[in-house]
A and B are shown apart, each in its own frame.
Chain A
Amino acid sequence: MTQTQQPPLAPLTSPDSASASQAEINAEMAAISAKHIGAAETQPRLDYSPYRSSLLRHPTKDPHHADPETVELFAPVFGHRDVARLESDLTIQDGGEPLGERIVVTGQVLDGDGRPVRNQLVEIWQANAAGRYIHQRDQHPAPLDPNFTGVGRTLTDDQGNYSFTTIKPGPYPWKNHHNAWRPAHIHFSLFGTDFTQRLITQMYFPGDPLFALDPIYQSIIDPAARSRLVATYDHEVTRHEWATGYRWDIVLTGSHRTPTEA
């Protein structure tokens, strides 16, 4: 029997087609990784077709390089007018104990020069222990938890540290392809000292078997960069008889402000 070349992958037409198998998605992800190996791409590819929703939503032209101007050299200023002090504990918001594994997630927010990002807003949102968001569009048939909204906010302290008490989120199915499951994750929203440092990302949990199968996580080609989204289990953060602990540090891009402006 003669060897045949693998046929080229069919062109993708429908962004919401959930027809591809996991094996097909894996092959697409592997092909993109192989093509860009060594490219040191440390941010996610905007054009990443295994994530079907990106097909019609990624800019096709290169971003335009610009020097930030005055307004972009400053960030919004947050304080306790913006954030109540108890909003960092997601386990006390609704009167009863939420179900699941209680965890503490803590870390430091730094800029690219290693300076702590102080008194800045950190916002999180996440699924509950069963993998269900309270969002109306989440119709995954897992139970909602009446004692868990999955939303938290805090301010970094003078060393750039943040801390949340929450419940470990569950993985959940999504309609990207057949039998698609997202690794468990917490969404994080961050500001730096410049508007140019704005970041929204996701924190993952160590050792998740779904990493290799997930097009959102795999959209970051550089494995070392990708792994920076994974928190570390930290026994020093773990609290006796109460919660397991994770540490996750976040680095924003460098500030463009000169020291005199800071």
Chain B
Amino acid sequence: MSALAPTPGQTVGPFFGYALPFDGGAELIPAGRPGAIRLHGTVFDGAGVPVPDAIVELWQADETGSVPQVEGSRARDGWTFTGFGRAPVDDTGHYSFTTLRPGPTEPHRAPFFAITVFARGLMHRLFTRAYLPLDPDTAAADPLLSTVAEDRRATLISRPDEHGFVFDIRLQGPGETVFVEYGAR
């Protein structure tokens, strides 16, 4: 049980653009490195219109499934995989990360990218997961996917493209992304 009441969230507003993005924030590894993949997508509003003032954060395990815990998650030295990325969308609502394919952190678990979404007009951050494409049996065995209604499961699963994976985020409306709230301890 939590003893203290948490501080409420507030919207990131429209003017985060000179504060939160940082050089290399979307490049968890250099694009030319062997094993580099792209995770990208578009943030849409309830009318299906791209949101031009959103920012997406990514947190993930490396290819072997281990979670980086080395100081300097925001630093970019070109060599260290820090597991943390931050990408503002462009004017077409599109974000793009250069990263590694995450490995499973535990045996028989489906690997995923942990995602946080912030935007003007969005009062509090949203959490979700971008799973790698997976077969129905693995989805059925996954502790989270198996509890999501089947007709909404696809919103959590990225689709492959030429360089990696596409994960669109729909804040509202048809195909609304499943957002996650972490249960109380």
Contact = CB atoms under 8 A, between A and B. Distances in A.
B2 interface: yes
Contacts of A79: 71-72
A178 interface: no
Contact of A229 (B7, B45, B47, B172): B7
B67 interface: yes
B122 interface: yes
| Secondary structure dominating the interface of B | loop
A59 B2 CA distance: 26
A104 interface: no
Give the interface size class of chain B: 35 or more
Interface residues of A, number: 79
Given A56-B47, A64-B178, A252-B6, A46 B16 contact: no
Contacts of A229: 7-8, 10
Contacts of A71: 59-61, 67, 102, 105, 112, 114
B7 A228 contact: yes
Interface stretch (B17-25, B30-38, B133-141): B17-25
B153 to A, nearest CB: 11
A247 interface: no
A66 B181 contact: yes
A58 B122 CA distance: 6
A43 B15 CA distance: 22
Given A71-B61, A125-B18, A250-B7, A66 B69 contact: no
Contacts, number: 247
A70 B106 contact: yes
A125 B7 contact: no
A138 interface: yes
A181 B4 CA distance: 32
Nearest to B121: A53
Contacts of B177: 59
Nearest to B54: A57
Interface in A227-262: 228-229, 250-256
| Secondary structure dominating the interface of A | loop
B114 to A, nearest CB: 5
Contact of B4 (A43, A114, A149, A202): A114
Contacts of B120: 53, 57
A74 interface: yes
A151 B19 contact: yes
A167 to B, nearest CB: 15
B181 A135 contact: no
Nearest to B184: A254
23 contacts: A42-B5, A44-B124, A56-B121, A57-B51, A58-B171, A59-B179, A66-B143, A68-B182, A70-B105, A70-B106, A71-B67, A81-B74, A111-B4, A125-B19, A137-B53, A187-B19, A199-B6, A199-B7, A199-B9, A200-B11, A216-B11, A228-B5, A253-B182
